[in-house]
């Protein structure tokens, strides 16, 4: 793909799952890829598989080190690292803070570092791995749902603010993807996400299709568009349907006890 060949790409949370799939696809298309992950061993493993560069550490502050590793320039930044915090208002304060920090503020901090250079040269691409929960919601996971809404809103804001200045933004919003995060979602994930879960490589394919079409919203599960439209046009009907899912979840959890 000409848009990424010989470009400098950073993928956070790329030790496995969607991040590793994105890193592999960018490398296969001829990009130079920095693989970032909090887990140093996993970052190095993915980097070795694709001939990339491992730059482990906290995704919130990775831009300077990644830029240096790539020789001074980042063309594409994939803000992929995320945490799937469950629970509701009763979830611990530090769980809410972690979800906010990783799922939203890491994106903000990366954009803060990247935008001056990108705006100066009139080019740059920011890829935000959000979730269908950012368009809709996820039963049993208030911190995750709320912060993924925030991630989507920030990606949307970046796009509407800078698209006329050469900045391209993509928001990836899959439903279930067969990753460690899905495996950790328990009964809620089994009920809502597992039945239609896809492989991480399908998410990467969907992103590249969106880049080819210069399209902001990336929906690896196309049916999410219908759910999103229903949420906007009939919010009470949509909430009623989601509440039925909540009741099914409570029934499953009760049976498990």
Q: Which residues are marked as active site?
A: 144
Alpha carbon distance 133, 155 (integer Å)? 14
Alpha carbon distance 141, 48 (integer Å)? 35
DSSP state of 60: G
Beta bridge partners of 218: 172
Query: Can you give the C-alpha Rg of the chain in angstroms?
Result: 18
Tokens of 80: 């992929």
> In sequence order, what are the residues at sequence separation of 6 or more whose Cβ sits closer than 8 angstroms to the Cβ of residue 244?
none
Alpha carbon distance 254, 257 (integer Å)? 5
């Amino acid at each position: 793909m000409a848009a990424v060949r010989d470009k400098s790409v950073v993928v956070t949370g790329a030790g496995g799952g969607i991040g590793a799939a994105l890193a592999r696809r960018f490398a296969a298309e001829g990009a130079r890829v920095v693989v970032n992950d909090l887990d140093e061993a996993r970052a190095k493993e993915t980097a070795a598989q694709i001939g990339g560069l491992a730059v482990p550490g906290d995704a919130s502050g990775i831009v300077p080190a990644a830029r240096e590793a790539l020789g001074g320039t980042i063309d594409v930044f994939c803000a992929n690292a995320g945490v799937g915090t469950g629970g509701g208002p009763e979830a611990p304060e530090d769980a809410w803070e972690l979800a906010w920090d990783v799922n939203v503020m890491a994106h903000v901090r990366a954009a803060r570092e990247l935008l001056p250079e990108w705006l100066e040269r009139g080019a740059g691409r920011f890829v935000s791995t959000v979730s269908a929960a950012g368009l809709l919601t996820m039963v049993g996971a208030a911190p995750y749902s709320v912060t993924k809404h925030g991630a989507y809103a920030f990606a949307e804001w970046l796009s509407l603010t800078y698209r006329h200045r050469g900045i391209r933004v993509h928001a990836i919003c899959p439903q279930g993807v067969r990753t460690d995060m899905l495996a950790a979602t328990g009964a809620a994930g089994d009920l809502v996400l597992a039945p239609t879960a896809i492989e991480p490589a399908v998410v990467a394919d969907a992103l590249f299709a969106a880049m080819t079409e210069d399209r902001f919203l990336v929906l690896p599960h196309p049916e999410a568009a219908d759910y999103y439209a229903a949420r906007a046009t009939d919010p009470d009907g949509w909430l009623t349907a989601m509440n039925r899912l909540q009741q099914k979840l409570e029934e499953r959890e009760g049976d498990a006890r």
